[in-house]
Structures are given as structure tokens and as C-alpha cells.
Structure 1
Amino acid sequence: MEKSRFIFRSIVQSQPVRQINTSNTSTPPWVCNACLRRTPKPSTLLRGQRQHRRWQSSNSQPADSPEFKSIVDNPPQLVQANRKHNKLGLLILATIPVTAFILGCWQVQRLGWKTDLIAKFEDRLVRDPLPLPPQVDPNAIKEFDYRRVYARGKYRHDQEMLIGPRLHDGEDGYLVITPLERSEQFPEFKGDTTILVCRGWIPKDKAAQSKRPDGLPRGEVVVQGLLREPWKKNMFTPDNKPQEGKWYFPDVYQMAEHAGSQPVWIEETMRPDLLTSYDRMAKGVPIGRPAEVNLRNNHTQYIFTWFSLSLATTIMMWMVIKKPVGSSRRLRQSKEW
């Protein structure tokens, strides 16, 4: 055994040592060695660095910065503390229930006034009708508003005026205003004795006198109705056009001047009857109004509305004042997030 080991060591030491080329072993045979020895240009390196920096800037996130602080890192900051109630706001809030209460008290007074007025007019309705004098003082009509009167004379259908449009039971139509001439009944009066009579409502398709021959009485007639005070026009009603025969509002003085009569307005009345109204509508005979007071009285609703508003706003103001003024809120703020 010792002899064989000696022979193997002698053979190995007698062989020449070969040097291995590491360059050939690390480079594949298909790569050009000349290209490997070529050094890149500085411009190419700078261009690559710029592109890499540009890519990093476009794809950077806020968290990549070492100075970034998230919303969790920031401590909560006190943004409101010990804030007192605004005196001006409380003053404005306090005026709402006070104003509503005053308006409610005013509506209570209006309710009493309107109730007494309706009672006074209803008392005039139950009295016997009075004969209308030949000439009436316009200033005295207010004391006889809703007073039942009667007059005798002849209708001047050639001076008829239609006020409209007016609705009656959902139907469109007009109010027929015809002057009543009373000169034959009072021949001793040289002045004008003509008055204006509102005969009632007619449908729109009966506006032409040729379509309602039964509604144009001839000869002497007796008219019984209510003496009414002239109305006041509101700002939403258009102006009348007498030259064109268009009347939108019963302006008593303007219509009396147009017809040459006294500024006295009589509303002809009739007993309310459905069958009679249908018969008159078909024949074109004006449908008169019932002898009743038709004044609106909604002051009870207004009283409930104003007092309810006053109570509700008072409770709201009490809740605002009761809320503690030392309340504060904490909020986390971050400008970088």
C-alpha cells in the first residue's frame, strides 16, 4: 500500500501545471470580445441616469420621503374650545317667537272685528228691502253695504258690459253689468237716475246677445238686490279697457262714467236652486247671487299658525341656550396627506 501511494505522488508531481484562462470560461463563445473591451460614452451614462431619475420622480409616493408624516403620526389639535353663544344670533332668534306672538294677538283682534262685521251685514240681510231713492250719495253707501233694496226701471242692453273671465261651479263665463234707467219713474228729477245692476253670471258661449234672447228683458222691470260698496283693485288685476269693451275688474266709478250713470252698484239676488240655475244657464239668463254674506273669515287658522310658530321657535331658542358653551372638538390635521 505504501509503495502504490509513492508511485501515484511521483506521477502527479511529474505532470506540468496548466494555467486556466478565466476570461474564456466566463465569456460565452457567441459574445464579441471587442464589444466587451469598448467603454460606454459619458453622454450615454448621463442620459440613462436622467431617465432613471425621471422614472423615480413620476412613480414616487409621499411615503417614500423620510420626512413624511401620516395622519396617525400627528397629534390631535384643539380647533374649538370655550366658544360662547353669538349675542346677535340669539337676538335674531329671540325676535322670531316674539314677532309671531304679536301677529297671533293681532289676528285675534282681526277675528273679533271680522265676526262683528259679518254679524252686522247678516242683520241687514234679514230686514225688509228698501226702495232705492232716485239719487244716492256715494259717501253714504258704506253705511248701507249689504242692505237689501229694490228699484224699478228699464235695462239699457245697448250699454251692457261683461266682466271676465269669472268662474261659476268650474265653468268659465262673465258677469253681466247692465245700466238700469229710471227716468220714467222719476220724471221730476232732471239729473241722472241711472244705476248699475250686476245681473249675474252667464257662460262663455252665451256672451253674444244674439245667443241669449230670453236673457234680455224688455220694458219696465223691478230689480231686487244688495247695495254694495265699491271694491278696491289689487296690484295683480289688469287694467280695464273700456274702448275695447274689455272689463277685468268691477271699477264702479269707471264703469259709471263709461255708461253715464251714478256710481251705484246693485247685485241682483235670487233664491239658490240647482234646477233653476241649469235652466238659466241653458237659456243664457244671468244667474244671480244668493242673498248672503260671502266675506272670507280665515283668521282662526292664522291664529293657530302664528301661535304654533311662536311656541316652536321658543322651544328651539331654549334648546340652544341650554346647550353648554364650553364644548370643544379635537381634529387631526395633516397638510402632507
Structure 2
Amino acid sequence: MAMNASQLFLRRAQKVGSRNLAALSRDARSPIFSPCPACRHLSRTTRRSKPAPADDPNFLSIVDNPPNLVRTGRRHGPGLIILALIPITAFALGSWQVQRLDWKSKLVAKLEDRLVRDPLPLPPRIDPDAISEFDYRRIYATGHLRHDQEMLIGPRMRDGNEGYMVITPLERGDEGTTVLVNRGWISKKFKNKESRPDGLPKGEITVEGLLREPWKKNMFTPENSPQTNEFFFPDVEQMAKLTGSQPVWIEETMEPDLLSTWDRDARGIPIGRAPEVNLRNNHAQYIFTWYALAAATSVMLWMVVKKPPGDIARRVRQNKEWR
């Protein structure tokens, strides 16, 4: 028998009511949540065994106690130590060059003082150990040039032209001794003595020049070869033994006259050096270079220390007083 509309509505209402009643019974068995006025979060209404930190009136949260930013891990590696040593080393080298400049300036002043004095006659016998005390001292000596024992040191450049330094023993008749004379520079085309008759004076002559200390060979200069008459640097002791001379080195001087220099160059006459001190004095440039390097690397070190390294960019918050 078909159900009418009122009976169907009543049966559906009974089913819905039974489902709602079951839901209410489940909620009755579960704990009830209500908003907490202290921390504004949901909390259980059931009794707790331990009080919450927020219940303490002296509690300070992270908002009340602001944190500090700290870095973690290693700040810098060993490269920072190397970078720190560069300005220290550069400053030390610059200070050392200051001392070298003072020493070289005094040495040049002492040698220039010797140049302004009147020339002395060269004694018959000279103590090689005493030559350093008369370095750059003007002297003169009289004798005969031994062109048969001439030695050429080179190649040597002068104004862009290749040539040689002419070394000739001076035999002094009255004293009976011989010294080595650096007569000056000649062009390469006058290497053979036959091509420069004007540059081979005969008879007794007087040579005026500077008494100099023996030269020192650097590591890049090849050894002399006396067997083939090839000399690359003035080894005074070696040349003195070859010619039977005293180990005394004299550099002949001439006044720096351009016309006289051109005439000597054209005739194959050795061009002597000017009577002046030619010591290198670049210590002021070295001072500027080392101090500038020290300043630049100091700025670099400051920038590196100030800027955090790339591998330690992570930061963490650390509270002043954790509770």
C-alpha cells in the first residue's frame, strides 16, 4: 500500500533525528575546547598537570626580549693570514728602502766630494785593499800604452750603437809597474786595431781618470774566454795576470763635449767617460712602491674583514635569555 506524503516526511525526519542524536553523544564523550584569554589560542578545558609558561606573570616572550644576530661557523680561512702578512711585509721593505736611500745618498755625496778635489799622481805601488778608500778619486799616471796587449770587453751599447770597451795596460817606465786603463768606448766597426790608427797613440802619454774598485760579475754574464780574446766583463784580477799588471783599474775621463765625441767616434778614438758619479739611486721609487703596496693591501684587508665570507652568510637568532 503506497505511503502518502505525510507519512514519508515523518519517516525521513526520524532518520535525521537519530543521526544528530548519535553525533551529539560522540561530542559529549570528547573534550571541549574553548578560547584561552591569556595566550589567545585554543586550549583544553581539562585540568593540566603542569602550568604553562604563559601563566607566570614574569614570563618574557621573544617579542619582549629582542634577539641578537650572530654568525655561525668559521669566519675566515687561512687566506686572511696571508693577506695580513702582505701589508706588514711591504711596510717593512719600504722602511728598509728608507735606510738604503739614506746610505746611498751619503755614499754619493762622499764620492762627489772626491771628484771635486785635484787629481793625485798614482803611486808606484798600490795596495789593492786600500783602493776602496780612494774609489772615484781623480788620479793621473804617465807611461806607454801596450797596444799589443789590448783587450776588448763587449758588446757594449752606446746611444743605440754596438761597440766595445778598450782596455789597454799602461806601462810606467820610471816606476817599473803596469796598471790597467779603461780608455773608453769604440764602435764595432773599429774592432780591428788596423782600422783605427788615430786611436793608438805612440810614445809617452799622461792618462787622467778615476781610480775604481774592481767590478763584480752578475749571474747573467758569461765567463770570459782569454784563449779566444773574448771578454764579457772586466775581471781585474784575471786581466792583471794575463798582462803582468797590478790589479789596478783606471777609467780614463774626458769632458762631455758633443763635437769632440763625434770626432772620436768617426776616427775610432775611444770615448772616455765623464768625470761624474754614475751609481744608481732608485731607492725613492722603491719606497713609494712598497708603501703604496702596503696601503693598498691594508685597504683590501679591511674590506675583507668587514664583509662576511660567502660560506658563512647564514645567520641565526640567539635570544639574550632563554626560558
TM-score range, shorter chain: 0.7 to 0.9
Match of 2:35 in 1: none
Q: Would you say 1:131 and 2:121 are equivalent positions?
A: yes
- Equivalent-residue separation in structure 2 for 1:111 and 1:261 (angstroms): 37
Asked if 1:275 is matched to 2:259, the reply is yes
**Structure 1 counterpart SS, 2:78:** helix
SS at match of 1:246: coil
Partners of 1:143 and 1:256 lie apart in 2 by 21
Cα shift at 1:285:
0.4
| CA 1:281–1:310: 2 relative to 1, 3 Å | same
Percent of counterpart pairs with the same letter? 66
Q: 2:135 aligns with which of 145, 154, 157?
A: 145
Q: In 2, distance between residues paired with 1:281 and 1:239?
A: 28
| 1:236-262: CA deviation from partner (whole Å, max 9, x where unpaired) | 000000011000001110111111100
Of 93, 96, 101, the residue aligned with 2:91 is 101
Counterpart of 1:55 in structure 2 is none
TM-score, scaled relative to structure 1: 0.70
Q: Distance in 2 between matches of 1:282 and 1:200?
A: 14
Tell me if 1:303 matches 2:293. no
Q: Which residue of 1 aligns with 2:8?
A: none
Q: Retained in 1: the 8 A contact 2:75–2:308?
A: no
For structure 2, list consecutive stretches of 5 or more residues without a partner in the other structure. Answer: 1-70, 316-323
Matched with 1:292 is: 276
What do the CA deviations read for 1:22-68 (whole angstroms, capped 9, x no partner)?
xxxxxxxxxxxxxxxxxxxxxxxxxxxxxxxxxxxxxxxxxxxxxxx
Within the candidate set 158, 161, 164, 1:168 is matched to 158
In structure 1, what is the Cα distance between the partners aligned to 2:73 and 2:203?
87
8 Å Cα contact 1:178/1:198 also seen in 2? yes
| Amino acid in the other structure paired with 1:210 | E
Which has the higher Rg, Structure 1 or Structure 2? Answer: 1
Deviation at 1:84, TM superposition (A): 2.5
Q: CA deviation at 1:328?
A: 3.6
Verify the 8 A CA contact 1:132 1:149 in the aligned structure 2: yes
1:316 pairs with one of 300, 303, 309: 300
Contact 1:152 1:185 in 2 (8 A): no
Q: 1:327 aligns with which of 304, 313, 317?
A: 313
TM alignment of 1:53-132, pairs within 5 A: 82-132=72-122
Counterpart CA distance in 1 for 2:114 and 2:233 is: 26
C-alpha distance in 2, partners of 1:205/1:240?
Answer: 22
Secondary structure of the 1:309 match is helix
Paired position in structure 1 for 2:200: 216
> 1:226 aligned to 186, 201, 210, which one?
210
Counterpart for residue 183 of structure 2: 199
Name the Cα RMSD after superposition: 1.3
Runs of 4+ with >6 A deviation: none
Does the 8 A contact of 1:83 with 1:327 survive in 2? Answer: no
- Normalised to the residue count of structure 2, the TM-score between the two structures is 0.73
